[in-house]
Structure 1
């Protein structure tokens, strides 16, 4: 088919990512459709779900996490993600071996041998058994009492290994503190994909929910090798449409339908999939303004999007009954445009049940 323009690509991604015209009402179904949502910024990641399900409240996301129907854990690239509980096991089986190879050199520097990590996993399993949800600090104290050093980033890598090994996932919070629980005690139902079936499924979910996108985009998002990513696309060859643009092949499902010009504005969270799910983000932003929306060390700011294009960033300060929001535009806007964006900020206030105060 004929290549789509950047605007058309961005518009289609808004629809496929459920940012516009969302078809989902349930968190678990949305996360399963998306595969996973990056979630190292916990509060903002909850809004990534809220921005895709109209009428959802932050308390609804917290409740789903408490029930264990959605989880927050390390999966895909070595970072935090939200994932539907029933999808965790097969996704770990597919992606964890690659991630473990990435972190192995760090483990060696920290003298975390395979034998030592195996010992730590046995202690952690015993400590958490019987639905005994513990914080990282509590787990590290138990490990220290058993002669395992947990200083100098060792605690991070020990728990990272326990997650990637399919032992632990997020548990019930203790106040504001996160806990860990055993996967086998937390997840009641597992989706069954394995081998090429798992590879085909993850590939389909990515291009179905984030297309049009390229194989390098998928590699970046999934953490899979180029060889595996290409195979995943081949396994779905009869399900994807494609076009070539600037020597890159873009894949997506369904048929592109030209949308009518509109003026849709969206306030998206830090690290939102709309931008971070792609290696090449030029369809939705002027890359010469990269530093205005992406801070150092790969920190993605909360973004303001208009018609699929990045117009600026926003910053929140949560008070007792209010949330103060400051808008920072890449280019100057007039008073009328400013008010359009300020009005949309109310959606976030509704989500967290606080009054929005725009700070100029």
Structure 2
């Protein structure tokens, strides 16, 4: 039987799932889901598509193709931001968010820049070559850019190549382009010119009042979509210092008075939407049928927290052993197992391993989620 809403821990999970739109009210589109979350970790691109789709209204079902189309037209962009890993970001947010993140990302990469020989002169030269290669909408795959860099006498493989591309992303030269299909049908990411996909933004790092305003916007969007959460949670998620997050909270309360509130429990101060504060101390919600969610291991329900991730009810993310599944099964917001997909002869096979036997009601909920995932990928699903 579900414990959702029957304890403080259950209420925290319940509020987080609703604010992250894993529960109603859902988003109307993948772009709306992304705007709510501000940024979504996306190094596992096939699963990151699902992260956005499952937060949308169920009818009509948002499909993988719908998310891919939003990436293709540049509404949703994929780049290195916040922390040195891939994220989805809405094109309306990427300019100011990169202005807030770039200096810290470059600083964090300094050791690898030195190790790979990417000094200022080399970075400037490769940035110029890369910009010329993709300008005018001439989006290029990684392999195509490698060949162009090689012809220019620049590194075209290994870490030296990878860090040239990342440096160009953080420097507002490159950003994701329109994906293309390989001869075998696999989806391949491309790179585009930043200024052709993100318009109306000033270059360079934000300073002074502009930076404070950006800190406020980030804090407002983070805590409104992921609360209850702590300052340390936000700092780990954003790559900012705790001092910056605290300043951002102060600015957020000036930008939007009454939107954010706070509560203290388990010895920590949590920040959340003001409307949710009473929900932490209110009576338990009525018991309902269980709900199962299949989320990717880098879903924001997992990666949106560090200090208070334990409310998930288990250890995630984790490093799989013996070829075991990586992604997360939730029962009423609590970690209950692991999963992954595979495609065989036009069938999507879902390998799902629960931590304990499911109840009859949980099995019905699991079957419903498997069917929903099949609608998302547009294939018949098979539980293995």
TM above 0.5: yes
Count residues in correspondence: 351
Matches within 5 A, 1:60-71: 60-71=66-77
> Does residue 200 in structure 1 map to residue 216 in structure 2?
yes
Cα deviation code 1:24-73 (max 9, x no counterpart): 21222221121011000000000001110122111111111111111111
Structure 1 position 165, deviation (Å): 0.6
Work out whether 1:283 is the aligned partner of 2:307. no
1:17-32 aligned within 5 A: 17-32=20-35
Gaps of at least 5 residues in structure 2 are 1-6, 182-186
Secondary structure, aligned partner of 2:128: helix
- Matched with 2:114 is 108
- Aligned structure 1 segments of 4 or more residues deviating by more than 6 angstroms: none
SS where residue 270 of structure 1 aligns? coil
Gaps of 5+ in 1: none
1:11 aligned counterpart, secondary structure: helix
Asked if 1 retains the 8 angstrom alpha-carbon contact of 2:40 and 2:89, the reply is yes
Q: Name the structure 2 match of 1:232.
A: 248
- 2:318 corresponds to which of 286, 294, 300: 294
RMSD of aligned alpha carbons: 2.2
Which residue in the other structure is 2:337 paired with? 312
Q: Is the 8 A contact 2:75 2:90 kept in 1?
A: yes
Q: Is the deviation greater in 350-359 or in 253-262?
A: 253-262
* 1:20-59 alignment, distance < 5 Å: 20-53=23-56, 54=58, 55-59=61-65
Residues 1:170 and 2:195 aligned together: no
How far the C-alpha of 1:333 sits from its partner, in A, is 2.8
What TM-score do the two structures reach when normalised by structure 2? 0.86
Query: Distance in 1 between the 2:30 and 2:54 partners?
Result: 11
Three-state SS of the structure 2 residue aligned to 1:356 is strand
Partner of 2:18: 15
Counterpart Cα distance in 1 of 2:360 and 2:111: 53
TM-score, normalised with respect to structure 1: 0.91
Partner residue of 1:356? 381
Alignment of 1:226-265 (within 5 A): 226-237=242-253, 238=257, 239-256=259-276, 257=279, 259-262=285-288, 263-265=290-292
In the alignment, structure 1 residue 212 sits paired with structure 2 residue 212 = no
Q: Is the 8 A contact 2:327 2:339 kept in 1?
A: yes
Distance in 2 separating the partners of 1:327 and 1:167 = 41
SS of alignment partner, residue 136 of structure 2: coil
